[in-house]
Structure 1
């Protein structure tokens, strides 16, 4: 247990029913204004100090006690195995048995020893058409390939990954090796894919700090956009504009690898629909197509969606109340040097260091917090190096939302594996940087030009996040 916490404060990531004891409470809720500037506070007064394998699953440090039981109820929804009674609520198709089976300890995938050699992958599918060049769902398999199904239904297929070696050298002559993935869909259960199908592999993202990201005002994100690169720095981030399922309005996207979801509610409901095969009020149709007769023939759920509205709200509240972990070793010389190099080589041009959240009427703990997620939540063209060739909303096939970096240094501690970038190809911080192209090419070349000590310092900074 972190020395910053009382020894009796347990972890929110303990499995049910151990989660009856909440890792919540005002551990640092009485933060004085004078220490809010502490660079260790990734989430302002919400920041939790924990360096254990439970670091991604702790409640906001300033959480009011009145919310404890509601958060517990949400955690039960999030951690439930929905396939213990598949004939009742789940399926027919899915990629997981529950939220926690992908977001192990609220992080990014399960330990590799439980997976084989790779992080879990799902594959998004779409086909370009004349009226929708950015793509519509693949006509047979829909918008996502599902590798699981309930008894009596054939799964849609599986994804196989093969790697080729890419070798290079740093400016000082030190060699490095990257892995370039190629994807193949196998064991297809419902005929061939359309030959024009566009594939986009994705790995799960950590789920802490999402309430704080939701609380960033749109104007603060839009102020960072520079679609025409008017300042000539080679960085031209722009927002993805997507339709809200709730009200039909076009809104700023901020969740997902391509910022294709405008609200946390829609992100969560979409995950229940696509990943778990569960209908909700926002997505009342099953995730099967007219070409999949066993799926379509299954009787409709009685009494409304498989996931009732109140349970969707509970899961949503749980995710809004998970805190980002504090930074560590912020005054160590190597970390301080690495932070300066992070700025110098250009990483901070996209990985924006700081925001202040707006007023959050229903959860005041999230309001007016100075946070350091290291993202601008904008789309950036990362070039052919990382392109999946599949547009999503206004995002092109080579554009990706800048992923937040907070908590990255605890990834191995929590999930016992390091797989980064959208498809998990990067096995280290260095590899993740070296795959950057397009708008990230200048930062990549700047990193490659550093000597060994400087490279180690920049990585030390990333490990401190």
Structure 2
């Protein structure tokens, strides 16, 4: 397998002095990819489409073009060709404002724009409890976190942790435990389940309930401040969150249940991510760190709910979901309590231990089909989610942005935050086909060290591993969402704090950031803010 990521051999600081270099990779990614697939499952013979290690959609000429255009730059004196349009031809060039993440892909058709708007209406729709006179909107809960998709994905952007009495609208606690019996371990190995829910409270804590029922409890977050001093003497404070649940309504949690906070991520560019060829993501996998660079990204291989085949997970904080449609179905069921053809859970996340919950009416209407959100609803919400445009870059030619980009490469950030990909030429939607995109993610799992560990395994992801989140749009967080909370639980209150929390495989990059001078660190942040 060709290598898409080959760092320059000799990079220097902004002042010309040499910067510590990571050890160059010595082994071909091809062997790493073959190894990860062999380790993942012995039943993958025949190269399922979702795990293909070669690109069948490209001619030899196209493959050469893709290899050339996705090779990381060594020239930091000016922007790269097409860098402005980080979401390809679908990039939004509209004025930046609070709706910067809510624009449709610029290259969809007029007819598709109508479909996008219908999907947006459903994404913003508030569901109501059953029975209701608005039969097309009932079925909420009985236990839930929010009444509409948009209420969690605020302005299609990033969520925030609870503050005081503001509630947990856009962050929730995932509940799960590891397999214990041989039967459970077999189910995990066979990818039938990613882990096991709490026997009473299910897969996530739901704080709200329909009339006549109590919410499950409330998330509590306590912070402890931690002082950090950088190499130049700059002192900063980081806040370490501690999670617990109060006011449990249905008895105690299982003592084996772990709590994993999950902040809602931005919605932009999802359709483009879905069309990155599996081979191009797997080309970066090196689970045994055979090249000795300290980075051992690995894929989360999941079982596709529709085909039943093992495939590449690429969505969610632990890359536990393969498709946007499945991600939407999981959110309908877990966050709102709405059943879909993909997740026919009319009572959402209610468990057998919650008999009163299961006795509540649901919103299934015979004239609309056997689920509360029938296929047309899922089609529209999925299309909307696939076509939220990535905003154009800003200030990409500014000297400090270019200097920050250089430092981003020098200290090794691109080892996980892969700058660019070219999507599949045979993508089912032309708007996402053969697009050069700049997500700055490899979409693989990486061990981020004990400080960021949640202790919760999800499929192939261990309790200290997280998917590399895309960085495009990160500089607009404050404008769109009115805050600067980052990482999976929003503990970081700035981009600098987010970097300082990096550990594990990212420890060396973090330490190089700490060792840089103030001007260099400011430049790197300026680069991130330009994305």
Length, aligned pairs only: 432
- Mapped partners of 1:323, 1:299: distance in 2: 38
DSSP-derived class of the 2:177 partner: strand
Q: Are 1:100 and 2:150 matched, yes or no?
A: yes
- Provide structure 1 residue ranges, at least 5 long, that are not aligned to the other structure: 1-32
Displacement after TM superposition at 1:360 (Å): 4.5
Displacement after TM superposition at 1:198 (Å): 1.1
Q: Partner of 2:219 in structure 1?
A: 159
Q: Partner of 2:197 in structure 1?
A: 137
- Mapped partners of 1:158, 1:112: distance in 2: 11
Q: Partner of 2:526 in structure 1?
A: 460
- Mapped partners of 1:179, 1:118: distance in 2: 18
The runs of at least 4 consecutive aligned structure 1 residues that moved more than 4 Å come to 84-87, 110-115
TM-score by length of 1: 0.89
Pairing partner for 1:67 from 88, 109, 112: 112
Pairing partner for 2:454 from 371, 374, 388: 388
DSSP-derived class of the 2:519 partner: helix
Q: Sort the Cα spacing of 1:221 and 1:74 in 2 relative to 1 into closer, same or farther, 3 A.
A: same
Farther-moved stretch of structure 1 (42-51 vs 128-137): 128-137
Q: How do residues 342-357 of structure 1 correspond to structure 2 at under 5 angstroms?
A: 342-357=408-423
DSSP-derived class of the 1:144 partner: coil
- Mapped partners of 2:200, 2:497: distance in 1: 36
Confirm or deny: 8 A CA contact 1:351 1:402 kept in the other structure: yes
Q: Are 1:77 and 2:119 matched, yes or no?
A: no
Displacement after TM superposition at 1:130 (Å): 2.0
- Mapped partners of 1:119, 1:446: distance in 2: 36
Q: How do residues 298-313 of structure 1 correspond to structure 2 at under 5 angstroms?
A: 298-300=360-362, 301-303=364-366, 304-313=370-379
Q: Are 1:336 and 2:402 matched, yes or no?
A: yes
DSSP-derived class of the 2:451 partner: helix
Confirm or deny: 8 A CA contact 2:340 2:375 kept in the other structure: yes
Displacement after TM superposition at 1:111 (Å): 11
- Provide structure 2 residue ranges, at least 5 long, that are not aligned to the other structure: 1-68, 70-78, 133-137, 189-194
DSSP-derived class of the 2:450 partner: helix
Farther-moved stretch of structure 1 (253-262 vs 275-284): 275-284
Q: Partner of 1:124 in structure 2?
A: 174
Pairing partner for 1:218 from 257, 273, 278: 278
Displacement after TM superposition at 1:115 (Å): 7.0
Pairing partner for 1:51 from 86, 96, 99: 96
1:236-275 residue CA offsets vs partner (Å, 9 max, x unmatched): 1010011111122111000000000011111110010101
Confirm or deny: 8 A CA contact 1:95 1:146 kept in the other structure: yes
Displacement after TM superposition at 1:359 (Å): 2.6
Q: Partner of 1:5 in structure 2?
A: none
Q: Which structure is larger by alpha-carbon Rg, 1 or 2? A: 2
Confirm or deny: 8 A CA contact 1:101 1:110 kept in the other structure: no
Q: Are 1:41 and 2:85 matched, yes or no?
A: yes
RMSD: 2.0
1:113-149 residue CA offsets vs partner (Å, 9 max, x unmatched): 9974988320111122223357311100011110111
Q: Partner of 1:403 in structure 2?
A: 469
1:94-128 residue CA offsets vs partner (Å, 9 max, x unmatched): 11110000111111127989974988320111122
Q: Sort the Cα spacing of 1:333 and 1:117 in 2 relative to 1 into closer, same or farther, 3 A.
A: farther
Q: Are 1:202 and 2:246 matched, yes or no?
A: no
- Mapped partners of 1:86, 1:80: distance in 2: 17
Q: Partner of 1:17 in structure 2?
A: none
Pairing partner for 2:247 from 187, 202, 213: 187
Confirm or deny: 8 A CA contact 2:126 2:147 kept in the other structure: yes
